[in-house]
A and B are shown apart, each in its own frame.
Chain A
Amino acid sequence: MALTKDITCLDAVALVSDYLEGALGQRERRRLERHLAHCEACSAYLEQMRATIAATGSVGPDDLSPETLEGIVELFERYRGDGD
């Protein structure tokens, strides 16, 4: 791991999903939190990601549109046969 103290925004966004999963090591987590403390843009990105995960979780099978169902069936069809 690099010894540089501060991470860039580009580095920070790469850590956000793991951060929300609680999967970062202590050192990486601290680096990210230090960056977030002074970076509004990355803090906004973190909040976007939280909202994205919440939105994804709010989508249940009852919300599946016929189009989506069709997509699942299509996906399935591609794997059913050996052809194509």
Chain B
Amino acid sequence: MWPRTPGSPCYVAPSEFEGRSTFKTWLLRITVNLAKKTGTREHRVVNVDPVNPVSRTRFDSVGMWNEAPQPFTELVEGRLARADVVNAVHRAIRELPELQQAVVTLRDVEGLSTSDVAELLELSDANVRVLLHRGRARIREVLEMTMNRGQPWH
């Protein structure tokens, strides 16, 4: 079931995985290896052009919100079913471009520091922050949609 073919970009020695490594470590290494591979293929060019974290259509012509975002009360107060939170976060992460996936996973799921993520992925701290910003914005959007779905007036 597990992708462990020798010579593959994400290869992790079975003895290491089956022995002392935890599943989390294995997953972490796959993420890093995958991101490195992706980065190599793309010559590690990170597009740093400004990207609106929220759709431009939600703002008026002078850059003010058309309709204020609603607090994530259900999420913060734990009233949103855990399965819904997990599914939304996973779905959002899976749909991100690979380097954003790697950065979000390492920084926000695994809790590594920005500089450690930068070092692991061979990116600058600034590039890590750009990727993180985009990835988080997308996860926020998916969580917002998840919560809105639960409200009949939306």
Contact = CB atoms under 8 A, between A and B. Distances in A.
How big is chain B's contact interface, by range?
35 or more
Interface string B25-69: 001001000100110000000000010111010010011110011
B86 A49 contact: no
Contacts of A11: 63
Contact of A56 (B8, B68, B89, B133): B89
A21 interface: yes
Contact of B136 (A8, A42, A49, A68): A49
A71 B94 contact: yes
DSSP class of B's interface residues: helix, strand, loop or mixed?
helix
Contact of A17 (B64, B76, B93, B136): B136
B132 interface: yes
A79 B38 contact: yes
Interface of A: 8-11, 13-14, 16-18, 21, 23, 40-42, 44-45, 47-49, 51-53, 55-61, 63-65, 67-68, 71-73, 75-77, 79-80
28 contacts: A8-B59, A9-B59, A11-B63, A14-B52, A17-B137, A18-B129, A18-B133, A40-B68, A41-B65, A44-B68, A45-B54, A47-B76, A52-B72, A52-B136, A52-B139, A57-B108, A57-B109, A58-B85, A59-B89, A65-B87, A67-B90, A68-B90, A68-B94, A72-B30, A75-B98, A76-B8, A79-B8, A80-B9
Interface in B1-39: 1-3, 5, 8-10, 23-24, 27, 30, 34, 37-38
Nearest to B137: A17
B85 A13 contact: no
Contact of A49 (B34, B59, B140): B140
B132 A17 contact: yes
B71 interface: yes
A35 B87 CA distance: 34
Interface string B81-95: 000011111100110
Interface of B: 1-3, 5, 8-10, 23-24, 27, 30, 34, 37-38, 50, 52-54, 56, 59, 62-65, 68-72, 75-76, 85-90, 93-94, 98, 104, 108-109, 111, 114, 125, 129, 132-133, 136-137, 139-140, 143-144
